[in-house]
C-alpha cells in the first residue's frame, strides 16, 4: 500500500477521497468505487501503486494520438482498476478486477519504467493507458516527474473523470492527453458508465485552455449514443469551447463486456464523420480500416500524413508542422527531435 495524495479527513476516522468526482466517503477498512483506494486507520492508501497489468511499446497512433509525434513509438503501461464501470468496457479484465487479484501482478518501481523508456532510442516517452490512469495517480505522477527530467514525453489516455485540483497538478507534467467523451447526455454516463458528464466536460475545458496537446475520442455505440442530433450538439460544443482545430477520433464499437449491440455500421461512422467535418478540421475514423484516416491540410487539401493501419508517413509537413504546399500551421506537435 502507498499513501494516497488527494483526500481529507471528515468525521472521526472517516476520509473523503477527492481524486475523482465520486468523492467517496470511506470508513476504516472500506474501499472506494474504483477498488484501488482504501481507508486504513483514518488515512487513505493506494492499493495498486506500481502494480502493472501491461507494459508494451506501441505506435503513438494506437493511443490514439495522430497529431503528436506521428509515426513514433511510445512505451505504454497500465495498472488495475477504474473509477468508471462502463457496460461496454474493452479492458474489463484489468479495469474491474477483484482486489484479491492485485497480488498476481508484478511491482515495478517508477525508476524501472523510466529506465525502460530511456533504453529504446526511438521511444518518445511513456503513455499511461489501458486502464484508467487517474486511479494510479501517484505512480503516474512519479513516473512523469522523473521522465520529464530526462526530456521524454508523458501521455495520459483518460476517461476525464478527475477532479480539477489533481488534474491541474498533472498539467505540469503531461505533454499530451487523449480524453474519451463517451456521450453528450448525462443519462448515458449515469446508466452505462456510473459517472456524470459535467466533470468530464470541465476536464476537457481545463486541458483545452492549458494549451497542452489534446485529442478527443468518441466511441459510437448503436442504440445508445448514435443520435445524429445529439452528435451535432456535441460537435457545436467542441467547436465553441475547444475550437475548430480540435483533433477528434470517431471509433467503431465492437460488442464487449455487458453490451451485445452489433458493431457500429460503416454508414453510421461515415455520417458522423461528415457531420463533424462541417465544423471540426481533424476528424478521424478509428477501428475501421475501410475508412480513410490520412491527414489533409484543411486549407488547401494537400496530403500531410499518410496512415495505413499503424504505418505512418509524414509527407506533406515542414519540420515546424506547416503544410509544405500552402504553409498553413497544422495543430499538433510534429517536431521529431525529442
Facing residues of 243 across strands? none
Q: Could you give the CA distance from residue 38 to residue 47 in angstroms, rounded to a whole number? A: 7
Q: At its nearest, how many Å lie between ligand SF4 and the CB of residue 211?
A: 25
Q: At its nearest, how many Å lie between ligand SF4 and the CB of residue 86?
A: 3
Nearer to ligand SF4 (CB atom), residue 135 or residue 269? 135
What is the length of the chain? 338
Q: Could you give the CA distance from residue 294 to residue 304 in angstroms, rounded to a whole number? A: 8
Q: At its nearest, how many Å lie between ligand SF4 and the CB of residue 42?
A: 15
Residues 184-243 that bind ligand SF4 (CB under 6 A): 193
Under 8 Å between Cβ of 73 and 60: yes
Select from 19, 117, 156, 317 the one that contacts ligand SF4 (CB under 6 A).
Answer: 19
Site string for ligand SF4, 86-105 (x = CB under 6 A): x--x-x---x----------
Nearest residue to 152 via CA among 176, 136, 170: 176
Under 8 Å between Cβ of 59 and 122: no
Among 31-39, 70-78, 103-111, 141-149, which window interacts with ligand SF4 (CB under 6 A)?
31-39
User: Exposed e or buried b for every residue in 303-320, given b needs 16+ CB within 10 A?
Assistant: ebbbbeeeebebebbeee
Select from 39, 48, 53, 85 the one that contacts ligand SF4 (CB under 6 A).
Answer: 85
Among 22-30, 70-78, 210-218, 227-235, which window interacts with ligand SF4 (CB under 6 A)?
22-30
Site string for ligand SF4, 261-300 (x = CB under 6 A): ----------------------------------------
User: Exposed e or buried b for every residue in 140-168, given b needs 16+ CB within 10 A?
Assistant: bbbbbebbbeeebbbbbbbbbbbbeebbe
Q: Does the protein bind ligand SF4 through residue 131 (CB under 6 A)?
A: yes
Q: Does the protein bind ligand SF4 through residue 24 (CB under 6 A)?
A: yes
Q: At its nearest, how many Å lie between ligand SF4 and the CB of residue 81?
A: 8
What is the rounded (10 degree) CA torsion for 126, 195, 162, 93? -30
Cα 18 to Cα 109, 137, 163, 311, 332: the distances in Å are 25, 12, 7, 41, 32
Secondary structure (3-state) at 107: strand
Q: At its nearest, how many Å lie between ligand SF4 and the CB of residue 288?
A: 18
Q: Does the protein bind ligand SF4 through residue 141 (CB under 6 A)?
A: no
Nearer to ligand SF4 (CB atom), residue 32 or residue 97? 32
Q: Both ends of the chain: CA-CA distance in Å?
A: 35
Select from 114, 117, 135, 179 the one that contacts ligand SF4 (CB under 6 A).
Answer: 135
Question: Which three three-digit cell numbers place residue 109?
Answer: 518501481
Secondary structure (3-state) at 305: strand
Among 29-37, 105-113, 221-229, 304-312, which window interacts with ligand SF4 (CB under 6 A)?
29-37
> How many residues line the site for ligand SF4 (CB under 6 A)?
23
Q: Does the protein bind ligand SF4 through residue 252 (CB under 6 A)?
A: no
The site for ligand SF4 (CB under 6 A) is made up of 17, 19-20, 22-24, 32-34, 37, 82-86, 89, 91, 95, 131-132, 135, 159, 193
Amino acid at each position: 500500500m502507498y499513501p494516497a495524495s488527494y483526500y481529507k479527513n471528515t468525521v472521526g476516522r472517516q476520509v473523503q477521497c477527492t481524486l475523482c468526482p465520486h468523492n467517496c466517503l470511506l470508513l476504516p477498512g472500506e474501499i472506494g468505487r474504483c477498488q484501488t483506494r482504501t481507508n486504513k486507520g483514518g488515512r487513505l492508501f493506494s492499493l495498486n501503486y506500481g502494480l502493472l497489468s501491461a507494459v508494451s511499446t506501441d505506435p503513438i497512433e494506437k493511443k490514439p494520438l495522430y497529431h503528436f509525434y506521428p509515426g513514433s513509438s511510445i512505451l505504454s503501461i497500465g495498472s488495475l482498476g477504474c473509477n468508471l464501470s462502463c457496460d461496454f468496457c474493452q479492458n474489463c479484465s484489468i479495469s474491474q478486477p477483484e482486489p484479491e487479484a492485485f497480488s498476481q501482478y508484478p511491482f515495478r518501481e517508477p525508476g524501472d519504467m523510466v529506465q525502460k523508456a530511456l533504453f529504446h532510442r526511438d521511444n518518445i516517452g511513456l503513455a499511461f493507458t489501458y486502464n484508467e490512469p487517474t486511479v494510479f495517480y501517484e505512480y503516474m505522477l512519479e513516473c512523469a516527474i522523473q521522465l520529464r527530467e530526462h526530456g521524454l514525453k508523458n501521455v495520459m489516455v483518460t476517461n476525464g473523470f478527475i477532479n480539477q485540483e489533481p488534474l491541474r497538478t498533472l498539467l505540469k507534467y503531461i505533454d499530451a492527453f487523449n480524453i474519451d467523451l463517451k456521450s453528450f447526455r448525462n443519462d448515458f454516463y449515469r446508466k452505462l458508465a456510473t459517472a456524470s458528464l459535467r466533470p468530464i466536460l470541465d476536464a476537457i475545458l481545463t486541458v483545452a485552455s492549458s494549451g497542452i496537446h489534446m485529442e478527443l475520442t468518441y466511441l459510437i455505440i448503436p442504440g445508445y449514443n448514435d443520435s445524429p442530433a445529439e452528435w451535432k450538439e456535441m460537435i457545436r460544443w467542441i467547436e465553441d469551447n475547444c475550437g475548430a482545430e480540435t483533433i477528434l477520433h470517431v471509433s467503431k464499437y465492437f460488442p464487449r463486456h455487458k453490451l451485445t449491440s452489433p458493431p457500429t455500421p460503416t454508414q453510421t461512422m461515415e455520417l458522423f464523420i461528415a457531420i463533424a467535418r462541417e465544423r471540426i478540421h481533424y476528424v478521424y475514423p478509428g477501428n475501421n480500416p475501410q475508412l480513410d484516416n490520412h491527414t489533409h491540410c484543411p486549407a488547401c487539401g494537400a496530403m500531410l500524413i499518410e496512415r495505413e493501419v499503424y504505418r505512418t508517413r509524414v509527407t506533406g509537413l515542414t519540420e515546424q508542422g506547416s503544410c509544405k504546399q500552402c504553409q498553413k500551421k497544422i495543430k499538433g506537435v510534429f517536431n521529431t527531435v525529442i
